[in-house]
Amino acid sequence: MRGTVAFVAIAALLAVSCGGPSGDAGTATTRSATASPASSPTPADIRAEVRVGGEPIGAVAIGEDVWVVASSFESIHDGSLARVDVRNGRVTARVRVGSIPLEVTAARGSLWVSNSDDDTVSRIDARTARRTATVDVCAAPEGLAALDDRVWVVCEDDGVVAPIDAERGRMLDPVSVGASPRFATAAFGAVWVSNFGAPPSRASIRRPAR
């Protein structure tokens, strides 16, 4: 995936936007709108924008923090993971990860970030905001899903989804899932993978065996 994302809405309450001339990364901007006294905010209202820098893509919540992947498609080695405190809308930590990070998931007290350009997954300790491991994986990793003691990573170029042993920090045997898989989610005791390149006549959601 190559492109620029202007901002990402989080939980319908915060919007995360790229840093720019209008403000520094890590600051929150509130929005106001004209409304009658009888009106009230709807769940879809954007209450604030938090500038995290880079080109925000993936996001996940742990406790009172939202972690946002701040990628960079022009300077590919500047990707990072930013921690946003939802109580005040400020960036409280930033961790350097791999080249062109895309997605993030949470498992076993850590954040796991897929780095598409260097075929790795970064592990970050959620408590200390420090990178604790870099796991070599399959080609062009993107989607991530956590299930039990495994973190599953989707690799588009290899057409596979591969489990990572979250305890030992190493990739296990991959599973072939079809053409150009992109994203994954864990539900109903299984990992479900979307295949972007699947023909229209075929199902585009696969369930690898656990």
Amino acid 78: pLDDT: 82
Specify the range with the lowest mean pLDDT, choosing from 39-43, 136-140, 157-161: 39-43
Contacts of 111 (CB under 8 A, 6+ apart): 60, 62, 67, 81, 104, 105, 123, 124, 126
pLDDT tens digit sequence for 104-139: 999 999 999 999 999 999 999 999 999 999 999 999
- Position 156, amino acid: E
Q: Is the pTM of this model over 0.75?
A: yes
Residue owning tokens 């990572």:
164
- Output the average pLDDT for the chain: 81
Whole-angstrom Cα distance, residue 202 to residue 189?
23
